[in-house]
Chain A
Amino acid sequence: DARVTQTPRHKVTEMGQEVTMRCQPILGHNTVFWYRQTMMQGLELLAYFRNRAPLDDSGMPKDRFSAEMPDATLATLKIQPSEPRDSAVYFCASGRGSLNEKLFFGSGTQLSVL
């Protein structure tokens, strides 16, 4: 079965450290999304790409977060420096065609910043 792969599944780090999360979208999908899930805020859209081009990253703190797609098989989300309030589950999702088609989610990266 085709699936979205995220690594690592879990990450524990100390405040101030750099964190990099990786995502391999489903082959042939041309849209990629990063969402963050917390109990308080639910699922928040951080950034998204179409055909590897960033379309919008207004959902994430620009001073510490960055999202890139170096190639069609890899999307990265980086936090530098990390803060305790960044603790959450980060999901990558991919889709075909337009932005509002059904999404396929990875299993997420659970991040704890101490």
Chain B
Amino acid sequence: SQQGEEDPQALSIQEGENATMNCSYKTSINNLQWYRQNSGRGLVHLILIRSNEREKHSGRLRVTLDTSKKSSSLLITASRAADTASYFCATDAGNTPLVFGKGTRLSVIA
């Protein structure tokens, strides 16, 4: 059963704009991770945020976590055509395997 649920399901933006994707989950978590999947490829880890962290940055990526609302957001600033991909959040409840959402399909138009 899915734990995380991404929103929106699909997002289309112009190159240079910012892209924001959201993830909501149902039960308490230990960590939350974001992954990217290019078409026809495997998932690639982007960033991990722990339950006691509120914000994390990595290059053009900014992730926030609000455990009171059971939600996280992934912001990609100054998007590029190469950012076109599906983005997934994944959660765990401790020493348990990751459970993935169904993803947000991001299209960045040049």
A contacts, CB < 8 Å to B? 4, 33, 35, 42-43, 45, 48, 56, 91, 93, 98-100, 102-108
Contact = CB atoms under 8 A, between A and B. Distances in A.
A100 B103 contact: no
Contacts of B103: 42
Interface in B93-110: 94-103
- Chain B binding surface, main DSSP class: loop
Given A42-B2, A42-B102, A99 B42 contact: no
Interface of B: 2, 30-31, 33, 35, 40-45, 48, 88, 92, 94-103
A45 B42 contact: no
A45 B99 contact: yes
Contacts, number: 53
A17 B69 CA distance: 47
Contacts of B92: 99-100
A43 B95 contact: no
Contact of A105 (B33, B43, B48): B43
